[in-house]
């Protein structure tokens, strides 16, 4: 499915995620956009972030401990979450394509993929 229409709001959301170059939450994206486009609605930001994720133009990182993050890098990669500041960082590690194949699977699950989330302390918080 493609974006059906090109609205100003959609392109601003995409551009903002790309420009931020970090793992921003929907609200952080919203706050940045609001400064240059004060009438945008939070709901519109959420809707567009989700649609851009579906279309693979950005990547959603789902974080159990808090708000989901949005990443301008679309390829699969792993993350670490700092337990002190809560920020998400990229991990420099090859994506393990075949991880699913190493699993004993007597029940017969159909695997689609996996995420690895490391926990730790970032250099700033250490």
Partner DNA sequence: TTACCTGCAAAGTCTTTGCACTCTT
Partner DNA sequence: AAGAGTGCAAAGACTTTGCAGGTAA
Footprint of a second copy on this chain (CB under 8 A)?
62-65, 68, 80, 82-83, 89, 91-93, 99-100, 102-123, 126
Among 4, 97, 101, 119, binds DNA (CB under 7 A): 4
Mark the segment that binds DNA (CB under 7 A) among 47-55, 76-84, 96-104, 108-116.
47-55
3-state secondary structure of 22: coil
Of 72-91, which residues contact DNA (CB under 7 A)? none
Q: Which residues pair with 81 in a beta bridge?
A: 88, 119
Smallest distance, Å, CB 104 to DNA? 29
**16: number of Cβ within 10 Å:** 23
Nearest-10 Cα torsion for 36, 42, 44, 49 = 90
Residue 25 binds DNA, judged by CB under 7 A: yes
- Does 3 sit near DNA (CB under 7 A)? yes
Q: Of the candidates 16, 88, 73, which has an alpha carbon nearest to the alpha carbon of residue 45?
A: 16
Give the one entry of DNA, a second copy, none that residue 83 binds, where binding means its C-beta sits below a cut-off of 5 to 8 angstroms depending on kind.
a second copy
119 vs 125: CA distance, rounded Å: 13
């Amino acid at each position: 499915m493609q974006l059906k229409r090109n609205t100003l709001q959609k392109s601003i959301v995409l551009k903002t995620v790309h420009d931020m170059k970090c793992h921003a939450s929907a609200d952080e994206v919203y706050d940045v956009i609001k400064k240059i486009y004060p009438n945008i609605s939070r709901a519109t930001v959420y809707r567009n972030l989700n649609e851009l994720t579906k279309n693979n133009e950005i990547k959603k990182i789902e974080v159990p401990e808090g708000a989901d993050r949005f990443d301008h890098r679309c390829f699969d990669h792993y993350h670490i979450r700092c337990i002190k500041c809560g920020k998400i960082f990229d991990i420099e590690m090859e994506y393990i394509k075949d991880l699913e194949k190493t699993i004993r699977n007597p029940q017969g699950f159909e695997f689609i993929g996996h995420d690895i989330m490391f926990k730790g302390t970032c250099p700033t918080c250490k």
